[in-house]
C-alpha cells in the first residue's frame, strides 16, 4: 500500500508530520493524489494556523499516535469543553 493511500485513512486526524523542509503537529484535512492539505496546530495556543499544501513525495514521516499526540488531543478537548477562556 502506498503512503498516500494510507494517509487517506487519517484525514481529519491530528498527527505529527515531517516533510523535506519542516516538521509540525497539525491536522490532515485533505489527501489528494499528489498533495496533502495540512492545517498546522500552534502547540502554545492550541489553535490552528497556517494551511499548507505539501507535495506527497516530500513527506518523510507521519506519526499518528503516541504520547505527544495524545497530550495535544487532550489539551484541545479541554479547551473545547471549557470554551478556551482560561
Mean pLDDT on 56-82: 82
What is the pLDDT, as a whole number, of residue 30? 96
What DSSP string runs through 26-53?
A: EEEEEE-SSEEEEEEEETTTTEEEEEEE
Tell me how crowded residue 60 is: count the other CB atoms within 10 A of its CB: 10
What is the pLDDT, as a whole number, of residue 20? 94
Tens digits of per-residue pLDDT, 18-64? 999 999 999 999 999 999 999 999 877 888 899 999 999 999 999 88
Identify the bridge partners of residue 32 per DSSP, sorted by sequence position: none
More reliable by pLDDT, 77 or 54: 54
Instruction: Please check the confidence at residue 85 and state whether its pLDDT lies above 60.
Output: no
Question: Residue 71 — pLDDT band, cuts 50, 70, 90?
Answer: confident
More reliable by pLDDT, 81 or 16: 16
**Domains of the chain with bracketed CATH:** 3-82 (2.30.30.100)
pTM: 0.78
Amino acid at each position: 500500500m502506498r503512503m498516500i493511500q494510507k494517509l487517506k485513512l487519517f484525514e481529519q486526524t491530528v498527527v505529527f508530520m515531517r516533510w523535506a523542509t519542516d516538521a509540525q503537529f497539525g491536522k490532515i484535512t485533505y489527501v489528494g493524489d499528489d498533495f496533502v492539505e495540512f492545517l498546522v496546530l500552534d502547540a502554545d495556543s492550541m489553535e490552528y494556523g497556517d494551511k499548507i499544501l505539501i507535495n506527497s513525495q516530500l513527506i518523510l514521516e507521519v506519526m499518528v499516535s503516541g504520547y505527544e499526540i495524545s497530550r495535544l488531543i487532550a489539551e484541545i478537548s479541554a479547551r473545547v469543553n471549557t470554551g478556551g477562556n482560561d
